[in-house]
Amino acid sequence: MTTKLLTEDRIRTSDAVLQVLAEAGIGMVFGIAGGHTGRLFMSLANHQNQIRTVLVRHESLAGVMAEVYGRLTGRPGVIIGQGPWVLGNGLLGTLEAHLSSSPMLLLTDFSDNPGFDLHGPYQAGTGGWGTWNARQAFAALTKEVFEAHQPEAGVQATQFAIKHALAGQPGPVAVLYASGGLSGHVGPDSVPKLYRTTPYITDQRLPANPDEVLAAVQILSTAKNPVIIAGNGVRIAQAFDELRAFAEGFGAPVVTTASGKGTYAENHSLALGVFGTFGTPGANAAVAEADVVVVVGSKLGISDTARANPLLLDPGRQTFVQIDIEPRNASWTFPADQLVRADAKRALPEMTKAFAHDATRRVSAEARVRSYREAHGFFNAPAYTSDEEPILPQRVIGALRNVLPDDAIVTCDAGENRILMTHFYQNRAANGFLQAAGAGPMGFGIPAALAAKLVHPERAVVAICGDGGFAMTMNGLMTAVEQNIPIINVVFNNHALGWVLHGGGPFAAEFQDFDHAEMARAMRCHGIRVSKVSELEPAIREAIACGKPCVIDVQTSLKVSFRDVTSPLAG
């Protein structure tokens, strides 16, 4: 009989913690050694065949990389580092994971000083007199916080953290190791006994309730002009194929929220792109005219609803069916007529079965989609081919679409560049577009691309940044060189914080012109500066072919702003 114990030998506690991660299928960790977590890094040196350690130059990079690893794989992304700096510097990714429901582990410490707890404090987060309260601080932005003060607790807390990061609606979970939580050894004689990790992380996604599915199907069967809204929950559930099959079987146009962009290929015959404040006119028209709205994995935020404009979504004239794994999300923004409380990957196939026999539904839905595209346009703006210089952002986006392979992954930073990419870039593959739509921080694009390339080394990965966002995390290019992660970074260099400039005025919103390609070359990356339209597509091809991290610094125009793509519905 196979043993259920974690180990039959007496091993270091830090090695046991890493064994837990490996058993959970976690193949990478991100961070910087510090405090008591230095013990984990010492053990990681002996586990390189199981877990890849990605050393970063700042905890903000590690936090975002862990969040994106979790979002793309469905397994918790792990940031390891010292408590004060995982909290302060790593907040970027942690907050995004919290608001976007990405599974994530923060393996960090109290930075306590045993024997000197009553002396003047230095770094300690124990919550005692004069110290900062680590538990309270991490609890404000995670699903749960576990403390470990003894070796056995250090192992169990890690197992419980993985379980809770994945249970129900995923999210970030912190483990705070005191000095004793990572010291010493554990083994078969440990009290309490330590067991293998697998039983803690069995698939906790419950099947859909048949009665709820039947009631939802009855509503959908009466729909004349249905529409499907896909949110980030589809990505978290890894339900891309299930969403496509449901849309084709049920027969309905598919629109996505901003955070859901990338969950459905926008060149599919049923796709209309992003809807809402910065959505496409066709997508907004389809939602506004729908009689039945199927919301899959979305909380429907203020941007999605165009500030709750009833001309777009209105439960008084529309019937809502909502699919969500988290009961607290049910009927959050609008009352749903029917809830299906289940993971999208489980629920959608059950609903698809009811419509699989009727092939005419898809034909009718495709005709509706064509009519919306013809009436409102669909990724065919004239500016895609403009020769104007400085180069229009749409022209850059058009060049990316022309050159990048269909399965490329694009990550977006925050600011005006992200809004323009959301509106104008046509995603053509599942998981082909990622943005920080939960918290929306600047400094997201580069580390997100690093993580995406590590998870999908076979796909081209491109980070889109403004010159403001690039400056925040350009040290990520050092990690790209050191770890051999050949991402492409396209910088919309307009010498300004575009969102701020167009939203309020030039004060504290303008930069000098810096050559980011030259900076990249100084960091041993490939660098290309583009100022002419004719140079755009050759630069992207060169970046793909060079096989190393590359920065394309594009001199872009400020002529186009977020206001130009803001829907009148949000006015």
Residue 530 pLDDT greater than 90, yes or no = yes
Q: What is the pLDDT of residue 482?
A: 97
Please tell me the pTM assigned to this model. Answer: 0.97
For residues 435-459, average pLDDT:
95
Residue 120 pLDDT greater than 60, yes or no = yes
Q: What is the residue-averaged pLDDT of the chain?
A: 96
Q: What is the pLDDT of residue 117?
A: 82
Listed residue (521, 492, 327) closest to 415, CA to CA: 492
Pairwise CA distance, residues 36 & 108, whole Å:
8
**Banded pLDDT at 194 (limits 50, 70, 90):** very high
User: Tokens for 458?
Assistant: 């076979």
User: For 529, phi and psi rounded to 5 degrees?
Assistant: -105, 130
Q: What is the pLDDT of residue 2?
A: 63
**Banded pLDDT at 204 (limits 50, 70, 90):** low
Inter-residue contact 127 to 133 (CB < 8 Å): yes
In single-letter form, the type of residue at position 218 comes to: Q
3-class secondary structure per residue, 306-324: CCCCCCCCCCCCCEEEEEC
Query: For tokens 């990520």, what's the residue?
Result: 476
Pairwise CA distance, residues 102 & 242, whole Å:
20
Residues making up the chain, counted from first to last: 571
Listed residue (538, 558, 557) closest to 399, CA to CA: 538
Q: What is the pLDDT of residue 373?
A: 98
User: Tokens for 254?
Assistant: 């598919």
End-to-end CA distance of the chain: 67
For residues 375-397, average pLDDT:
97
Listed residue (51, 41, 42, 53) closest to 19, CA to CA: 51
Set out the domains of the chain in order of their start, with CATH numbers: 11-201 (3.40.50.970), 210-376 (3.40.50.1220), 382-569 (3.40.50.970)
Inter-residue contact 556 to 530 (CB < 8 Å): no
Q: What is the pLDDT of residue 70?
A: 97
pLDDT digits (tens, 9 = 90+) for 221-237: 999 999 999 999 999 99
Inter-residue contact 198 to 23 (CB < 8 Å): yes
Listed residue (158, 138, 136) closest to 148, CA to CA: 158
**Banded pLDDT at 518 (limits 50, 70, 90):** very high
> What is the side-by-side order of every strand in the sheet holding 227-230?
271-274, 254-256, 227-230, 292-296, 319-323, 338-340
Q: What is the pLDDT of residue 272?
A: 98
Listed residue (24, 5, 106) closest to 65, CA to CA: 106
User: For 253, phi and psi rounded to 5 degrees?
Assistant: -60, 150
Q: What is the pLDDT of residue 357?
A: 79
Q: What is the pLDDT of residue 377?
A: 97
pLDDT digits (tens, 9 = 90+) for 102-119: 999 999 999 999 888 888
Residue 203 pLDDT greater than 70, yes or no = no
Pairwise CA distance, residues 333 & 172, whole Å:
23
Residue 139 pLDDT greater than 60, yes or no = yes
For residues 47-66, average pLDDT:
97
Inter-residue contact 66 to 455 (CB < 8 Å): no
Q: ∠ CA(46), CA(47), CA(52), 5° rounding?
A: 125
Residue-wise DSSP of 484-495: T---EEEEEE-S
Higher pLDDT: 67 or 204? It is 67
Residue 190 pLDDT greater than 70, yes or no = yes
Pairwise CA distance, residues 156 & 182, whole Å:
11
Pairwise CA distance, residues 370 & 400, whole Å:
24
Listed residue (312, 220, 262) closest to 412, CA to CA: 262
Pairwise CA distance, residues 537 & 528, whole Å:
12
Listed residue (352, 294, 283) closest to 319, CA to CA: 294
